[in-house]
């Protein structure tokens, strides 16, 4: 079995577990929303409406759809204000970035926790191994949140980080991608490549 076969099997096994799949989707969605919130594209401010004259939904400045406000922060071209105190600014590139980061995070978490359960199932329950197994998830969390917080600071020009901001988004993608790839491709002693229950059946 090649590393790619192992990765594919591991990927499918992880997504075959409803708890991991839905847990990943939940975490990915929460992350994407949090990212948009830190950018100021989701506004929760009781008692106020950001654009009182814009109505419930307005499209403004479609020509600015790819216009950058700050590195990896783009012009909103629509606003949705369904109720007082809540608004969503829609910037297409940022929605794509949020979705991409969310999907990557969801997959990373699902695979990382899949491996974590595999370790436990195989009876390797020493604390060192547990920490080792949870490291990818920790790294995943750090990779997603630390850069996005810094990016959101960049959106307001808080820029002792100015020089760093342009590389934070690529860094977030790279770190999440590397963690996912590592968890998919690495060899896990005694864990095997076949899910526990399948092995038990056989």
CA-based torsion, 167, 28, 198, 126: positive or negative: positive
Cα–Cα distance for residue pair 25/11, rounded to 1 Å: 14
Kindly list the distances between the CA atom of residue 50 and the CA atoms of 11, 60, 169, in Å, as whole numbers in the listed order.
43, 14, 27
When the beta carbons of 139 and 165 are compared against another protein, the nearer one is 165
Name which position in 29, 38, 64, 129 contacts another protein (CB under 8 A): 64
Instruction: With CA atoms as reference, report the closest residue to 81 among 49, 47, 124, 41.
Output: 49
- Applying CB under 8 A, the span of 50-58, 124-132, 137-145, 184-192 interacting with another protein comes to 50-58
- Applying CB under 8 A, the span of 17-25, 126-134, 136-144, 181-189 interacting with another protein comes to 17-25
- Applying CB under 8 A, the span of 131-139, 140-148, 152-160, 184-192 interacting with another protein comes to 152-160
Of the chain, the end-to-end C-alpha distance in Å amounts to 18
Task: Tell me if 80 sits within 8 A of 90, measured CB to CB.
Answer: yes
Is residue 125 at the binding interface for another protein, with CB under 8 A as the rule?
no
When the beta carbons of 117 and 129 are compared against another protein, the nearer one is 117
Name which position in 46, 83, 123, 160 contacts another protein (CB under 8 A): 160
- Applying CB under 8 A, the span of 30-38, 100-108, 137-145, 182-190 interacting with another protein comes to 100-108
Is residue 82 at the binding interface for another protein, with CB under 8 A as the rule?
no
DSSP type of residue 115: H
Strand ranges inside 1-146, DSSP E: 42-44, 57-59, 68-70, 73-74, 78-83, 86-90
When the beta carbons of 128 and 188 are compared against another protein, the nearer one is 188
CA atoms within 13 A on the CB side of 100: 13
Binding residues for another protein, rule: CB under 8 A, are 9, 11-13, 15-20, 40, 43, 45, 48-54, 58, 60-61, 64, 67-72, 75-79, 87, 89, 93, 96-97, 99-100, 103-104, 107, 117, 154-160, 162-163, 165-166, 169-170, 173, 194-198
């Amino acid at each position: 079995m090649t590393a790619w076969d192992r990765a594919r099997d591991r990927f499918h096994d992880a997504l075959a577990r409803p708890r991991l799949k839905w847990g990943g989707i939940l975490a990915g969605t929460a992350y994407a929303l949090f990212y948009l919130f830190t950018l100021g594209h989701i506004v929760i401010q009781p008692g106020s409406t950001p654009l009182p004259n814009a109505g419930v939904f307005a499209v403004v400045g479609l020509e600015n759809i790819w216009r950058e406000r700050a590195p990896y922060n783009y012009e909103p071209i629509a606003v949705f204000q369904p109720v007082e105190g809540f608004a969503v600014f829609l910037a297409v590139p940022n929605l794509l970035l949020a979705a991409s980061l969310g999907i990557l995070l969801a997959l990373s978490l699902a695979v990382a926790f899949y491996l974590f359960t595999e370790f436990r199932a195989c009876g390797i329950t020493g604390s060192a191994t547990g920490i080792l197994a949870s490291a990818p998830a920790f790294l995943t969390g750090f990779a997603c949140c630390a850069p996005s917080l810094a990016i959101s600071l960049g959106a307001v020009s808080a820029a002792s980080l100015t020089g760093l901001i342009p590389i934070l988004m690529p860094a977030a993608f790279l770190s999440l991608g590397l963690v996912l790839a590592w968890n998919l491709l690495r060899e896990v002693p005694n864990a095997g490549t076949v899910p526990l229950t399948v092995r038990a059946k056989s």
